[in-house]
């Protein structure tokens, strides 16, 4: 009897372990599909928008609302990235840089990816319902922007600005979640995010300049060449820095804010020292590492300035 019970328990344990590993593997595939680690680009600015609203409105911090805002950010970005991978699946299959992505590699099917998009989009709208009416009514507009970006490179080289616009919704969206109304300061921060993201996406698109030409795809590097693209990227990043400077000047902030601004600006400049028209070997360092650090550092100094 004891031997039989041991075998049953052992079988259940093996069954549980196998399914647990399969679930982890599936989760890992979906996190890779949406490049979940890249959430760090805009998430700090959503946190900035949220705490800025608390400060301006003298509102009480709500862990529930803060959690819902973070969920909104995660669901919207997950829907956008999965839709981008689904929409570009045939293009990615032809591109030597992207053919190993989950959908062209057969790891995740197109239907599975599309269902994932639908699930995250619905969850985003549901979350906005529990925030306030304005966020709920604006949720379809936000989805239209973040999902629509994936189609824009087929007909306009301004696709980078559309991506920037999508991520720029983070600070203003978080601000609206707290206040239910617009304000100039978070709008300037959102414009800063738009210029920042557009600028580094132009740099990232340099990798696919020749491939995009063969597929009749639109981008700033295709339209302006490498030198022109890098010049425009520098201009956008200058605008981004100024749009962080102006709110600080307007609000008469303290030293921590200016330390955050200086760090952000220096990292933008450093990013451009890594990329040369004839040398893109350090593009991942410029795109992923530098930009992730820049947003986190600014958000930390912002919070220190406003609350300590």
Domains of the chain: 9-307 (1.10.357.140)
Residue 3 has pLDDT above 60, yes or no: no
d(CA 40, CA 28): 17
Specify which residues 279 forms β-bridges with: 276
How many angstroms separate the CA atoms of 166 and 73, rounded? 11
pLDDT in tens, 77-104: 999 999 999 999 999 999 999 999 999 9
More confident of the two residues 279 and 158: 158
Q: How far is CA 39 from the centre of its chain?
A: 5
* Beta-bridge partners for 276: 279
Please state, in angstroms and rounded to a whole number, the distance separating the CA atoms of residues 220 and 204.
Answer: 11
Confidence band, pLDDT 50/70/90 cuts, at residue 39: confident
Question: What does the radius of gyration of the chain's CA atoms come to, in whole angstroms?
Answer: 22
For CA atoms 255, 196, 33, 170, the dihedral sign is positive
Q: What is the pTM of this model?
A: 0.92
**Structure tokens given for 52:** 């800025």
194, 165 in Cβ contact below 8 A?
Answer: yes
State both tokens at 99.
């053919």
- Written as six digits, the tokens of 3 are 């031997």
At 6 the pLDDT is: 47
pLDDT at 21: 79
Q: CB–CB of 93/99 below 8 Å? A: yes
Phi/psi of residue 109, nearest 5 degrees: -80, 155
| pLDDT confidence band for 280 (50 / 70 / 90) | confident
CA distances from 202 to 221, 232, 253, 277 (A): 7, 8, 32, 13
Task: Please compute, for residue 31, the number of CA atoms within 13 A of its CA located in the half-sphere on the CB side.
Answer: 9
How far the first Cα of the chain sits from its last, in Å, is 66
Evaluate whether 39 touches 295 at the Cβ level (below 8 Å). no
Determine which of 1-5, 102-106, 141-145, 154-158 has the lowest per-residue pLDDT on average.
1-5
Q: What percent of the chain has pLDDT over 90?
A: 78
Best CA proximity match to 141, nearest among 109, 169, 164, 111: 169
């Amino acid at each position: 009897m004891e031997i039989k019970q041991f075998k049953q328990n052992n079988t259940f344990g093996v069954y549980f372990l196998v399914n647990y590993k399969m679930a982890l593997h599936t989760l890992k595939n979906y996190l890779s599909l949406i490049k979940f680690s890249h959430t760090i680009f805009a998430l700090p600015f959503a946190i900035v928008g949220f705490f800025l609203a608390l400060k301006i409105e003298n509102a009480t911090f709500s862990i529930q609302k803060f959690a819902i805002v973070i969920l909104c950010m995660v669901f919207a970005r997950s829907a956008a990235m999965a839709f981008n991978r689904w929409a570009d699946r045939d293009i990615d299959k032809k591109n030597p840089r992207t053919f190993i992505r989950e959908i062209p590699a057969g790891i995740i099917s197109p239907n599975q990816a599309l269902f994932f998009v639908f699930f995250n989009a619905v969850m985003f709208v549901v979350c906005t319902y529990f925030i306030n009416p304005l966020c709920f009514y604006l949720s379809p507009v936000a989805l239209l922007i973040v999902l629509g970006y994936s189609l824009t490179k087929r007909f306009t080289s301004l696709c980078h600005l559309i991506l920037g616009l999508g991520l720029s919704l983070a600070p203003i969206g978080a601000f609206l979640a707290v206040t239910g109304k617009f304000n100039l300061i978070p709008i300037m921060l959102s414009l800063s995010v738009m210029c920042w993201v557009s600028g580094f996406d132009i740099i990232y698109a340099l990798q696919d300049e020749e491939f995009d030409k063969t597929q009749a795809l639109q981008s700033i590097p295709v339209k302006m060449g490498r030198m022109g693209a890098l010049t425009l990227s520098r201009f956008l990043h200058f605008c981004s820095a100024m749009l962080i400077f102006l709110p600080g000047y307007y609000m008469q902030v303290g030293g921590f804010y200016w330390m955050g601004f200086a760090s952000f600006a220096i990292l933008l400049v450093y990013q451009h020292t890594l990329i040369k028209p004839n040398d893109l070997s350090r593009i991942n360092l410029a795109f992923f590492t530098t930009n992730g650090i820049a947003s986190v550092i600014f958000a930390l100094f912002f919070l220190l300035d406003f609350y300590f």
